[in-house]
Amino acid sequence: MRLEDKVALITGAGAGIGRASALAMAREGATVAVVDIDGDKVDSCVTEIQQAGGTALGIIADVSNLEEIDSMVSSVVEKYGQLDVMFNNAGVTRRCKFMDIDEELWDWVHDVNAKGVFFCIKRAAETMIKQGHGSIINTASIAGRGFPGTSNAAYAASKGAVIALTMQAARSLGRHNINVNSICPGVTRTELMQGILNKRHEKEGIPMDELEAQAARGITIGRINEASDIAEMAVFLASPAARNITGQSINVDGGLVMI
Q: What CATH number does residue 244 fall under?
A: 3.40.50.720
Domain membership of residue 119 (yes or no) is yes
60 or 215, which is more confident: 60
Domain membership of residue 208 (yes or no) is no
b/e map 106-134, b = 16+ CB within 10 Å: bebbbbbbbbbbbbbbbbbbebbeeeeeb
Instruction: Report the SS3 class of residue 121.
Output: helix
155 is catalytic: yes
222 or 58, which is more confident: 58
Instruction: Give the residue from 232, 257, 253, 222 showing the smallest Cα distance to 145.
Output: 257
- The letter for the amino acid at 55 is T
Domain membership of residue 82 (yes or no) is yes
Q: What percent of the chain has pLDDT over 70?
A: 100
**pLDDT attached to residue 54:** 98
Q: Which one from 9, 69, 143, 155 is the annotated catalytic residue?
A: 155
- Whether 197 has a pLDDT exceeding 80, the answer reads no
| pLDDT range class, residue 34, cuts 50, 70, 90 | very high
pTM of the entire structure? Answer: 0.94
Summarize the confidence of residues 96-109 as an average pLDDT. Answer: 97
What residue numbers bound the domain in which 158 lies?
7-186+227-252
Summarize the confidence of residues 171-194 as an average pLDDT. Answer: 93
Could you give the CA distance from residue 78 to residue 180 in angstroms, rounded to a whole number?
A: 23
**pLDDT attached to residue 118:** 98
Could you give the CA distance from residue 109 to residue 91 in angstroms, rounded to a whole number?
A: 8
- The letter for the amino acid at 76 is V
Lowest mean pLDDT among 13-27, 137-151, 185-199: 185-199
Domain membership of residue 73 (yes or no) is yes
Domain membership of residue 139 (yes or no) is yes
**pLDDT attached to residue 208:** 81
Domain membership of residue 91 (yes or no) is yes
Domain membership of residue 130 (yes or no) is yes
Domain membership of residue 13 (yes or no) is yes
Outline where the chain has alpha helix (H): 16-27, 39-51, 66-80, 103-110, 116-131, 153-173, 191-204, 208-216, 227-238
- Whether 200 has a pLDDT exceeding 90, the answer reads no
Q: What percent of the chain has pLDDT over 90?
A: 86
* Number of structural domains found in the chain: 1
Summarize the confidence of residues 219-245 as an average pLDDT. Answer: 96
- Whether 218 has a pLDDT exceeding 90, the answer reads no
